[in-house]
Structure 1
Amino acid sequence: MMKDKKKKSKTRFKPLSPIEAVHESAKGLHDAGVIDATTMHEFDALCLTPVRELSPREIKRIRIHEKVSQAVFAKYLNTSVSTVKQWELGEKHPRGTSLKLLNLVDRKGLQAIA
């Protein structure tokens, strides 16, 4: 007796979050000429991934997950080894561009900023 093997359908696309779906719709409207570039830029800004604060433990976890030394991590982030050490010890806190890059590395890995 042969077992019926059902093929699992694999979707080629990952499901979109509601905000991603709205952005995709806006992009389609922009491409069709229904909304102008200024409005599209406003949608782009609204749909940016929020930048969250990171604890010293989280910063160290990100670096260790990427399997790099503090020196290598500092090079990727265009900062000093001393700054990375201070972040990991909680003596300083990343702000602005550094915090944005750390969030990006946390979500996408170092290859996203290489």
Structure 2
Amino acid sequence: MTAKAKKAASPLLAALHETATDLHKAGFMDLKTLREYNALCLDDEVFEAKDIVKLRSELKISQGVLAAFVNTTTSSVAQWEAGDKRPGGPARRVLGLLKRKGLEAFA
């Protein structure tokens, strides 16, 4: 899903995102900064238990390693994968980044 297809979390964030996009198009904002605004302004992807298991399997990492990347506990990752809990906002952002870019995003 592209940034354009995502929906802003609020009208204020939608306006901020539109302004940042226009600044980038006009050459006043670099792509890295625009991506940071996208991450702040746009709704995060929803991760179901099966999605987290699949992501971890594709990355070939343990629950402990994923927990370290997401800055949470191994127990939390296990609860996500069991469907007992869902990752919160910051964790969803890191999971989304890992899904899109892989471990190389953190190199």
- TM-score, length-scaled by structure 1: 0.60
Name the amino acid aligned to 2:53. Answer: K
Residues 78, 62 of structure 1: alpha-carbon distance in 2 compared, 3 angstrom cutoff: same
Alignment: residue pair count: 86
Bigger Rg over Cα: 1
SS at match of 2:26: helix
RMSD after superposition? 3.2
Gaps of 5+ in 1: 1-16
- TM-score, length-scaled by structure 2: 0.64
Higher RCO, 1 vs 2 (CA within 8 Å, ≥6 residues apart): 2
Name the amino acid aligned to 1:83. Answer: S
Aligned identity (percent) is 31
Partner deviation per Cα, 1:54-109 (whole Å, 9 max, x = no partner): 11000110011000111111111111000000000000100110011111111111
Which residue of 17, 27, 47 maps to 2:24? 27
Residues 45, 107 of structure 1: alpha-carbon distance in 2 compared, 3 angstrom cutoff: closer
CA distance in 1, matches of 2:54, 2:46: 14
Residues 96, 27 of structure 1: alpha-carbon distance in 2 compared, 3 angstrom cutoff: same
Q: Which has the higher helix share?
A: 2
CA distance in 1, matches of 2:103, 2:91: 13
